[in-house]
Amino acid sequence: MEYRKLGNSGLAISKIAFGNWINHGGKIDENTAIACVKTALDVGITTFDTADVYSETKAEEILGRALQGVRRESIELCTKVCHPTGQGPNDRGLSRKHIFENCHASLRRLQTDYIDVYYAHRFDPSTPLEETMLAFADLVRQGKVLYLGVSEWTAEQITRGAALARELKIPLIASQP
């Protein structure tokens, strides 16, 4: 397996990442999903990408179980926040409340103390960008998140987010189109 640095960071990731959007908790049973993760590890994949909403949170749970017993320092866990995870008015978006609550829920489901890359899954026009970036900054400073990324943001949104990240001195390192 080849490895490369993610963005302008020092974080080395496997050239191929294991994503569990459709398969974990969805189209394949848990034993097969766990076998897929074990095979990925066997071939040198160290980067695992998921999101709080994949298979209604089941994807993170299955990935957490699949990685039990794996030395945490030997893998990179990436997950996302923004999409609805419940029926309440604060169960969606990039408000401070939703980011904090979903980060803690993702940590529990993934059975880990920190997330390597935490992505803003979409841009949230209903929340001030400053609130969003400050919430992410606080999670970074608490050690719950190491790096930040965005997913499906426009160039203008990324430019604004990156400027705030620099101002807050937090590592915005990736964009997932």
4, part of any domain: no
Q: Which residues constitute the domain of residue 61?
A: 12-176
Task: Residue 110: give its domain's CATH number.
Answer: 3.20.20.100
76, part of any domain: yes
Given a contact cutoff of 8 angstroms between Cβ atoms, the answer to whether 63 and 50 are in contact is yes
Confidence at residue 25, expressed as pLDDT on a 0 to 100 scale? 79
2, part of any domain: no
Q: Is 3 a catalytic residue?
A: no
* pLDDT surpasses 90 at 111: yes
1, part of any domain: no
161, part of any domain: yes
81-99 pLDDT, tens per residue?
A: 999 999 999 999 999 999 9
Residue 177 banded pLDDT, cuts 50, 70, 90? confident
140, part of any domain: yes
Q: For the residues 162-177, what does the mean pLDDT come to?
A: 96
7, part of any domain: no
Q: Do the bridges between strand 145-151 and strand 3-5 make them parallel or antiparallel, or are there none, so unpaired?
A: unpaired
Confidence at residue 164, expressed as pLDDT on a 0 to 100 scale? 98
* pLDDT surpasses 80 at 23: no
CB atoms within 10 A of CB 67: 21
Helices (H), the chain: 30-42, 58-66, 96-110, 129-141, 155-168
Q: Point out the catalytic residue in the list 3, 54, 114, 147.
A: 54
111, part of any domain: yes
* pLDDT surpasses 90 at 21: no
Number of domains in the chain: 1
44-80 pLDDT, tens per residue?
A: 999 999 999 999 999 999 999 999 999 999 999 999 9
